[in-house]
Amino acid sequence: MTNTPVELVNVTIDGVEMQVPKGTLVIRAAEQIGVQIPRFCDHPLLEPVAACRACLVEIEGQPKPQPSCAVTVTEGMKVRTQHSSVVADEAQKGVMEFLLINHPLDCPVCDKGGECPLQNQAMSNGRSESRFDGPKREFEKPINVSAQILLDRERCVSCARCTRFADQVAGDPMIALLERGAHQQVGISDDDPFDSYYSGNTIQICPVGALTSAKYRFRSRPFDLVSVPTTCEHCASGCSLRTDVRRGVVQRRLAWDDAQVNEEWNCDKGRFAFPYAQEGRLTTPLVRGEDGVLHAASWPEAIAAAAAGLNKARGGRAAVLAGGRHTAEDAYALSKFARGVLGTDDIDFRARPHSAEEATFLAARVAGLGLGVTYADLEAAAHVVLVAFEPEDESPIVQLRLRKAVRRGRTHVTAVASHVTEGLYKLNASMIEAKPGAEVAALAAADINDSTVVLVGERAATVPGLLSELVRITDQAGAKLAWIPRRAGERAAIDAGLLPGLLPGGRLVTDEGARHYVASVWGVDAGLIPATAGRDFSGIVGAAAADAYEALLVTGFDVDDTAHPDATLAALQRAPFVVALEQRPTAVTALANVVLPVATVTEKSGTFINWEGRARQFAQVLRENNTLTDARVLAMIADAMDSLIGRQDVAQVREEIARLANHNGPRAAAPAVEATVVDGLTLGTWNQLLDHGTMQAGEPFLAATAREPLARVSAETATAHGLSTGDTAVISTTKGSISLTVQVIDGVDNTVWIPTNSEGSHVRVALGAAHGTPVTLSKGGAH
Partner 1 sequence: MVLTPILTAHWDEADSYTLAGYKRHHGYVAFAKALKTDPDAIIQTVKDTGLRGRGGAGFPTGMKWGFVPQNDGKPHYLVVNADESEPGACKDIPLMLANPHSLIEGVAIASYAIRANHAFIYIRGEVPHVIRRVRHAVDEAYRAGLLGENIQGSGFDLDVVVHAGAGAYICGEETALLDSLEGRRGQPRLKPPFPAVAGLYASPTVINNVETIANIPYIMRNGVDWFRQWGTEKSPGFKLFAVSGHVQRPGIYEAALGTTFRELLEHAGGIRKGRKLKFWVPGGSSVPMLTEEHLDLPMTYEDMAAAGTMLGTGTPMVFDETTSVLKAVSRWLQFYKHESCGKCTPCREGTYWISDLLKRLEKGEGKMEDLGTIEDLCRQISGRSFCALGDAAATPFPAAMKFFRDEFEAGISTPADQAFNPLSSTVFVKAKG
Residues that bind partner 1 (CB under 8 A): 48-54, 56, 63-65, 70, 90-91, 94-95, 97-99, 101-102, 131-132, 134-135, 137, 157-158, 176-177, 179-184
User: Of 52 and 282, which CB lies nearer to partner 1 in the complex structure?
Assistant: 52
User: Of 41 and 770, which CB lies nearer to partner 1 in the complex structure?
Assistant: 41
Quote the least distance from Cβ 407 to partner 1, whole Å.
14
What whole-number distance in Å separates Cα of residue 330 and Cα of residue 606? 8
User: Of 192 and 642, which CB lies nearer to partner 1 in the complex structure?
Assistant: 192
- Determine what percent of the chain falls in helix, strand and coil, rounding each to the nearest 5: 30, 20, 45
User: Of 104 and 606, which CB lies nearer to partner 1 in the complex structure?
Assistant: 104
What whole-number distance in Å separates Cα of residue 114 and Cα of residue 327? 34
Report phi then psi at 245, rounded to 5: -120, 140
Quote the least distance from Cβ 393 to partner 1, whole Å.
30
How remote is the C-alpha of 696 from its chain's centroid? 12
User: Of 34 and 135, which CB lies nearer to partner 1 in the complex structure?
Assistant: 135
Quote the least distance from Cβ 71 to partner 1, whole Å.
10
Helical (H) or strand (E) element with 359: helix 356-365
Quote the least distance from Cβ 161 to partner 1, whole Å.
14
Q: What is the dihedral of CA 409, 415, 418, 422, to 10 degrees?
A: -40
Contacts of 719 (CB under 8 A, 6+ apart): none
- 3-state SS of 700-755 is HHHHCCCCCCEEEEEHHHHHHCCCCCCCEEEEECCCCEEEEEEEEECECCCEEECC
User: Of 54 and 645, which CB lies nearer to partner 1 in the complex structure?
Assistant: 54
In a 3-state reduction of DSSP, which class is residue 606? strand
User: Of 63 and 108, which CB lies nearer to partner 1 in the complex structure?
Assistant: 63
User: Of 99 and 599, which CB lies nearer to partner 1 in the complex structure?
Assistant: 99
Work out the number of other CB atoms within 10 angstroms of the CB of residue 3.
Answer: 5
User: Of 132 and 425, which CB lies nearer to partner 1 in the complex structure?
Assistant: 132
In a 3-state reduction of DSSP, which class is residue 216? coil
643 neighbors 340 (Cβ within 8 angstroms)? yes
User: Of 9 and 91, which CB lies nearer to partner 1 in the complex structure?
Assistant: 91
What whole-number distance in Å separates Cα of residue 292 and Cα of residue 419? 51
What whole-number distance in Å separates Cα of residue 288 and Cα of residue 295? 6
User: Of 90 and 377, which CB lies nearer to partner 1 in the complex structure?
Assistant: 90
* Cβ-count burial 127-155 (b if 16+ within 10 Å, e if not): eeeeeeeeeebebeebeebbbbbbbbbbb
Quote the least distance from Cβ 173 to partner 1, whole Å.
11
End-to-end CA distance of the chain: 55
AA identity, residue 283? T
Contacts of 688 (CB under 8 A, 6+ apart): 393, 706, 707, 709, 755, 756, 758
Quote the least distance from Cβ 400 to partner 1, whole Å.
24
Quote the least distance from Cβ 177 to partner 1, whole Å.
7
Quote the least distance from Cβ 95 to partner 1, whole Å.
5
Closest CA to 42 of 6, 3, 92: 92
Report phi then psi at 600, rounded to 5: -85, 175
Contacts of 300 (CB under 8 A, 6+ apart): none
Quote the least distance from Cβ 67 to partner 1, whole Å.
8
User: Of 410 and 516, which CB lies nearer to partner 1 in the complex structure?
Assistant: 410
Quote the least distance from Cβ 30 to partner 1, whole Å.
18
User: Of 137 and 472, which CB lies nearer to partner 1 in the complex structure?
Assistant: 137
Quote the least distance from Cβ 157 to partner 1, whole Å.
7
Quote the least distance from Cβ 6 to partner 1, whole Å.
22
User: Of 137 and 647, which CB lies nearer to partner 1 in the complex structure?
Assistant: 137
Q: How many CA atoms lie within 13 A of 442 on its CB side?
A: 21
How remote is the C-alpha of 497 from its chain's centroid? 22
Q: How many CA atoms lie within 13 A of 741 on its CB side?
A: 10
Quote the least distance from Cβ 45 to partner 1, whole Å.
17
* Cβ-count burial 367-404 (b if 16+ within 10 Å, e if not): bbbeebbbbebbbebebbbbbbbbbbbbbbbbbbbbbb
Quote the least distance from Cβ 581 to partner 1, whole Å.
56
